Structure 1
Amino acid sequence: MGFAASILIGVVTVMSWATAWSDWHSYQVLGHFADDERKLAQADLISGSFGIVAALALLAAAVVFIVWLWRVRWNAEMFCRGEHRFTRGWVIGSWICPVVNLWYPKWVVDDIVAASDPRTPPQTATLRQIPGTRLVWAWWLTWVVGLVLDNIAQRSVLDGAAQLSELRTNAVMSTISAVSTTAAAVLAVLLIQRVNDLQTRRPWTPWWAQDQAGHPLNGGFPPPAG
């Protein structure tokens, strides 16, 4: 699932650059062929088509990434007793709830990384106090920047901006968004590999069957309720 998410994230990156190109194409067409209705309509068709494909690619990548995230969250709860900041339902909800989706998903991933790390004792009480990694910070910041810029650019298109200066601004923002999205995509793939590697290296023994040092217990602790 992590591999599938990585592939789709790559597709999203390609489409972000294709969208940026189509925005520059629309700007150039309006600048050179403002009276040619056929060329203007063709540019609008290209821009709209790329936008639809990019949205579908983003949706597919998001679904697969969240499924992967849900699975590694399950594993993380088995590895470590530590309390996550949010219940498991927020693995999905953190992405779709307005406003809080600007930082909740990062906290979800922070706790998963902390619980997956073999250096985190299995009997850790809470994961909140474990500092986040630079990889997660870099991934999340580049993703938010790209997302915000892309939303602003798309809003200007939906508002029907037809002035040359507005199209140029839109193209510039789309390009910056593509750069940020590319950085976020590379970091997301590294993050997937990092979490998978941590969980592969951690002994597949539930926390309730280990002591604080990670040694197996003969009697074990009773499994968690539910």
Structure 2
Amino acid sequence: MLCRTCGDTLSPVAPECPRCDGPQDRRAVLPGLPTYRVRGIGLAASIAVGATAGVFLLTALLPLLGWALAERAAAERRFEPLLGQVLAELVGSLLFVLAYVTAAVLVIIWSWRARKNTDAFPGALPTLGAGWAIAGWLVPFANFVVPARVVAGIARDSLPRRRAPALVAVWWAAWLLFSFGERIVAQVEQRRSAGLAEDPVTSADFQAYADHYRDILAVRLAPAVAGLVAAVAFAVLVRRISVAQQDRIGRGTPAWPVIPGMTLPPGAAGHPLPVVTPSPQVTAPHTPVSPPVPPVAGGTIGA
């Protein structure tokens, strides 16, 4: 016999599942509550998050190009080579914004669906409503804590072990380092670039550009690494949660058509099979019918 919650093998003598601590008679999914597919949207969200981290890493390495172009500009005593770095930074910024917005939308959709699914899981104890899966990312200051609490609750109510995995803490810590680090890097770059000559002429002017790109490279790499860690941790979390939810929903969904009003058999939603007692056939009483009387001549008017 398998547990309807986590799918593990149950002991015939134990009242609860040794893996998820759920009672043996607990349903997999509550009937009448909507559930949503999360594997596809979870995969799309993971790819978008990974693409965002990858684009940011590429932009973090762009100072290498700027360093080389600054050396070339110093050798040729021309400012034009440095325009290539400006164009590369612009393209990188546009790609990052596009990937970031796409990832944000997909992550919010997945979080909302996964959170709504836990409403249909018996034994789940959510601490935040499904609306916080959306608002938690958008409300200022709340977005420092709420998304992590939402995902931790989803993981706790979806995975076999009744606790949030440590991977949630790794993901959120890396995400905060990435978010704050990105802003700090932007401020540092703006402050340092203010001292560069707008129209470099001397060797010292070009050397200042080369030194600027060399120093910025080390500053940019720190949030880039944090972003990669956050992306990998989030992808693993999404996969584990999505697989667990889809498997549980599958165990609670009957493999036959369900007609409204019918009683579901065991395994579908924990309902017993209806006991149908055939009613005895009732034979209608035989009503004798008199034989027809043959017509007699003169029995009718005008005969």
- TM-score normalised according to structure 2 size: 0.59
| Matched-pair contact (CA < 8 Å) for 2:171–2:234 | yes
Hey, what's the Cα distance between the residues in 2 that align with 1:140 and 1:46? Answer: 30
Hey, what's the Cα distance between the residues in 2 that align with 1:111 and 1:81? Answer: 12
Identity of aligned residues (%): 26
1:151-190 aligned at under 5 Å gives the runs 151-157=183-189, 161-162=193-194, 163=196, 164=208, 167-190=213-236
Could you say which residue in structure 1 is the equivalent of 2:64?
A: 24
Could you say which residue in structure 2 is the equivalent of 1:146?
A: 178
Could you say which residue in structure 1 is the equivalent of 2:164?
A: 132
Could you say which residue in structure 2 is the equivalent of 1:94?
A: 136
Could you say which residue in structure 1 is the equivalent of 2:149?
A: 107
Q: 1:84 to 1:159 in 2, by over 3 A?
A: farther
Three-state SS of the structure 1 residue aligned to 2:120 is helix
Hey, what's the Cα distance between the residues in 2 that align with 1:77 and 1:198? Answer: 15
Could you say which residue in structure 2 is the equivalent of 1:78?
A: 120
**What residue ranges of structure 2 are gaps of 5+ in the alignment?**
1-40, 197-207, 254-268, 273-303
Hey, what's the Cα distance between the residues in 2 that align with 1:7 and 1:153? Answer: 25
Hey, what's the Cα distance between the residues in 2 that align with 1:86 and 1:161? Answer: 44
Aligned pair partner of 1:39 in 64, 67, 81: 81
| Matched-pair contact (CA < 8 Å) for 2:125–2:157 | no
Hey, what's the Cα distance between the residues in 2 that align with 1:54 and 1:147? Answer: 13
Could you say which residue in structure 2 is the equivalent of 1:211?
A: none
| Matched-pair contact (CA < 8 Å) for 2:69–2:85 | yes
Q: Indicate the RMSD between aligned Cα atoms, in angstroms.
A: 2.6
- TM-score normalised according to structure 1 size: 0.77
Task: Tell me, yes or no, if structure 1 residue 199 matches structure 2 residue 245.
Answer: yes
Residues 115-173 of structure 1: CA deviation (Å, up to 9, x unaligned): 112455xxxxxxxxxx5311111111111111211122223445672455654443222
Q: Which amino acid aligns with 1:58?
A: Y
1:61-72 aligned at under 5 Å gives the runs 61-72=103-114
Q: CA deviation at 1:114?
A: 1.1
Task: Tell me, yes or no, if structure 1 residue 55 matches structure 2 residue 97.
Answer: yes
Aligned pair partner of 1:216 in 250, 256, 270: 270
Could you say which residue in structure 2 is the equivalent of 1:13?
A: 53
Q: Which amino acid aligns with 1:192?
A: V
Q: CA deviation at 1:82?
A: 4.0
Q: Which moved more, 1:32-41 or 1:146-155?
A: 32-41
Hey, what's the Cα distance between the residues in 1 that align with 2:89 and 2:61? Answer: 9
Hey, what's the Cα distance between the residues in 2 that align with 1:180 and 1:28? Answer: 26
Could you say which residue in structure 1 is the equivalent of 2:6?
A: none
Q: Which amino acid aligns with 2:182?
A: D
Q: 1:149 to 1:36 in 2, by over 3 A?
A: farther
More helix by share: 1
| Matched-pair contact (CA < 8 Å) for 1:12–1:58 | yes
Hey, what's the Cα distance between the residues in 2 that align with 1:38 and 1:80? Answer: 66
Could you say which residue in structure 2 is the equivalent of 1:127?
A: none
Hey, what's the Cα distance between the residues in 2 that align with 1:171 and 1:5? Answer: 29
**What residue ranges of structure 1 are gaps of 5+ in the alignment?**
121-130, 207-214, 219-226
Hey, what's the Cα distance between the residues in 1 that align with 2:79 and 2:122? Answer: 63
